Amino acid sequence: MHVLAISGSLRRDSNNTRLLRALREEAPEGVEVTIWDGLKQLPHYDADDDGVPGPPAVDAFRRLVRDADAVVFATPEYNSSIPGALKNALDWGSRPLATNAFRNKPVAVIASSAGAFGAVWAAAELRKVLGAMGARVAGVELAVGHAGERFDADGRLADDDVRQGLRDALESLIAETTPNLQAA
């Protein structure tokens, strides 16, 4: 099973990207997690540019999503919602709407923030957007608050509860994906 992992933060020392690295460490045998680093390369969504072929970075992103068995997101919260860069990627990914790469794709959302609430509102927004796009949104609700305190000096996750939360999130996503693999 191949899981594509997308961080909503571009920051080099992003806690959300670090969470995805920890999630990759917790992946069970047979589950390969690839962290996508192409978010910054996507142009702003413009329907005039959305042809065949589209912008190379967009076509590459859509191919990655299509080829993945599942997608996991880690998002921060900007102004009570998801970052513009992440929404922009989803806007590209959602076209054409009826046949987009995310349709029926099992997805899971985790979130973290420096504050106490762990980007819980951004996570809800992201689940809403993914559902509207036709994705199969797994029942994962992992919101990591005070994220800056959860990592050691090397940026590695040093919180066993959060590690367990990541394992549980992956388990839910794998369970959501398994019927698709069996049908294939």
Partner 1 sequence: MSIAAETAAVPTGTWQADTVHSSVAFEVPYAVATFGGSVTDFDATLADGRLTGVARIASIAVKDENLEAHLLSPEFFDAERHPEVRFTTDTIRRNGDDVEVDGQITIKGITQPATLRGTIVGPSVDHFGKNRVGLSLETTVDRTAFDINWNMPLPNGDPALANEVTLKADLTLVGQGS
The one-letter amino acid code at 123 reads A
Phi-psi sector, 64: left (phi>0), alpha (psi -120 to 50), beta: alpha
Measured from the Cβ of residue 155, the count of other Cβ atoms closer than 10 Å reads 15
- Residue from the set 2, 21, 103, 146 that interacts with partner 1 by CB under 8 A: 103
The single-letter DSSP state of residue 19 is H
Residue 133 beta carbon to partner 1: minimum distance, rounded to whole angstroms:
8
Residue 96 beta carbon to partner 1: minimum distance, rounded to whole angstroms:
8
Residue 115 beta carbon to partner 1: minimum distance, rounded to whole angstroms:
27
Residue 182 binds partner 1 (CB under 8 A): no
Q: Do the beta carbons of residue 114 and residue 149 sit within 8 Å?
A: no
For strands 70-75 and 136-137, give the pairing.
Answer: unpaired
Residue 60 beta carbon to partner 1: minimum distance, rounded to whole angstroms:
24
Q: Do the beta carbons of residue 1 and residue 69 sit within 8 Å?
A: yes
- Residue from the set 49, 168, 179, 181 that interacts with partner 1 by CB under 8 A: 179
- Residue from the set 47, 98, 116, 153 that interacts with partner 1 by CB under 8 A: 98
Site string for partner 1, 46-85 (x = CB under 8 A): ----------------------------------------
Angle between helices 120-133 and 84-93 (to 10 degrees): 10
Residue 65 beta carbon to partner 1: minimum distance, rounded to whole angstroms:
16
- Residue from the set 10, 97, 175, 181 that interacts with partner 1 by CB under 8 A: 97
Contacts of 99 (CB under 8 A, 6+ apart): none
In the bound state with partner 1, the residue whose beta carbon lies nearer, of 153 and 184, is 184
**Residues 115-144, interacting with partner 1 (CB under 8 A):** 131-132, 134-137
Contacts of 65 (CB under 8 A, 6+ apart): 4, 71, 93, 101, 102, 105
Binding site residues, partner 1, CB under 8 A: 97-99, 103-104, 131-132, 134-137, 179-180
